[in-house]
Structure 1
Amino acid sequence: MKKNKEIEVHSEETSRNIKGQTYPVTELYIGKKQIGEVLHFGSKEFQSFADDEDLGTSKTLDLAIETIIRRWNLHEN
């Protein structure tokens, strides 16, 4: 039976200018590798991206982060 290993994910806050509008962005990293980012379009609109792939919109930051981690887990393991 394969043991689950714990992986530490950390985030960095930055901003991005899109079409003249500045949006907050949360970048997610495992080690030094960026696994995705979340654009904060509003109080209940968080757009998730991983490797330039649009993963969809979530209503909370936590759900958006979970989407990126699940996608990473499926493609990296």
Structure 2
Amino acid sequence: MRKNKDTEIRFEETTKELKGKSYDVGELYLGKKKIGEILVYTPKDFQVFIGEDNCGSAKSMDDALELFIRQWNLQD
């Protein structure tokens, strides 16, 4: 019988400079590998990225995380 391994998923908050402006960014990691980002453009505009692909936008961080998980599951 095969044992299930625990997978660590981390969320780290940083800032990123784009076109001369600084934005808050949430980076998502699977183990040590960065798998995506959520950029906060405005308090009600969160852009979700998996790799370099823009997967859509959301109006809250919770909605953005849910969108990320749905898109990640489709790609995996």
Please report the TM-score for the alignment, with normalisation by the length of structure 1: 0.82
| 1:18-77, Cα deviation, whole Å (9 max, x unpaired) | 11100000001111121210000111100000010001110001111111122222222x
Query: Please, which runs of 5 or more residues in structure 1 have no aligned partner?
Result: none
The yes-or-no answer on 1:14 pairing with 2:14 is yes
Structure 2 gaps of 5+ residues are none
Sequence identity of aligned pairs in percent? 46
Cα distance in 2, alignment partners of residues 56 and 36 from structure 1: 12
Q: Are the counterparts in 2 of residues 38 and 64 from structure 1 also a CA contact under 8 Å?
A: yes
Q: TM-score, normalised by structure 2?
A: 0.83
RMSD: 1.8
Runs of 4+ in 1 over 2 A off after TM superposition: 5-9
* 1:35–1:68 CA contact under 8 A, matched in 2: no
